[in-house]
Amino acid sequence: MTDTANIGKPAGQINRRAVGDFARQFGVLIIIAALLIGLSFASDSFFTARNLLNILNQSAPLAIIAAALTLVIISGSFDLSTGAIFGVASVSAGWLAVNVDPILAIFAGPMIGIVLGAVNGLIITGFGVHSFLVTLATSLVYRGIAILITGGSLIPVRIAEFSWLGREKIGLVNIAVIVFVIFMILMMFLLNRTTFGRKVFAVGGNEEAAILSGIRTNLIKVMTFCLSGAAAGLAGVISVSRISMAEPQAGAGMELEAIAAVILGGTSIMGGAGAVWRSVSGVLLMALIGNGFNILNVNPFFKDLTTGVIIVIAVALAASASRR
């Protein structure tokens, strides 16, 4: 069957578009495969079950944030407050675990994240201010709240009923990894198998058309920010339960790492296109680079440099594809 959309287009242009689409869809997986092969030859200690499971475990909090952040970016928004929400949730959960109830603390983290995410979404939609500016401002407010909760001090959290989430295993696999996989599957289901997910794509693809079609775009945006906040809160709880310490500066810079992972995964920064699994693949790619450089005793500067170069290339390819 002839593709009518391609009638009249030069074969070279069609092929370039096909290559660009393939690179956006599977480029991150190809790079991951190349890294796995290369690092396996470079070090005997890299391709072992223990090391690979450790990479997954260390990546779990960031992967959870990136999975939900994908929906925010697909809807045409940004969230620069995830790192600060991570910090508020972690210190709140730590304080509750020590002073109230450890089980309550575990559930409180994501709930606090939902509330703070809703605040972001309501300000953005209520006042019509760009999400970049709003979440930049609220990140400062939320970080200040984290400092107020702790008085700027660390909170030791050595409670077995709380630390199991970040430390215990089922077989060889950390519970944190299982939680991250379940959360990723949930985000994939929401995005790809529900009316809500279709509306997220519609809002990011063409908001005016979405409004004309009857979609409550403001509600969709608020919901994506609630999911992003919940993810940051859950990630914060996992982190503090793992290290048994809550501190107000926890999560600083994670928002940029999460955005980088989403972009590496091929999600359009203009909105309307993306996939959760590719964003998680972006997190794993960054983790592989860091782990490989650690094993090879490479200067950490080169890890950031390499990741930055890959992100620049990914953004350039995405921009080129959108122009075509």
Exposure string for 207-239, b = 16+ CB within 10 A, e = fewer = beebeeeebebbebbbbbbbbbbbbbbbbbbbb
Contact 221, 272 (CB under 8 A): no
Can you tell me the mean pLDDT for 78-95? Answer: 96
pLDDT of amino acid 298: 83
pLDDT of amino acid 174: 95
The CATH code of the domain that includes 57 is: 1.10.3470
pLDDT of amino acid 3: 46
* Within a domain: 19: no
Range of the domain at 199: 46-323
Contact 265, 310 (CB under 8 A): no
- CA nearest to 240, candidates 162, 172, 175: 162
pLDDT at residue 23 tops 80:
no
* Within a domain: 1: no
Q: Reduce the DSSP state of residue 247 to 3 states and report it.
A: coil
Overall pTM surpassing 0.85 (yes/no): yes
* Within a domain: 296: yes
Confidence of residue 313 (pLDDT cuts 50, 70, 90): confident
* Within a domain: 28: no
Count: domains in the chain? 1
* Within a domain: 34: no
* Within a domain: 25: no
Task: Report the chain's mean pLDDT, rounded to a whole number.
Answer: 89
* Within a domain: 162: yes
* Within a domain: 124: yes
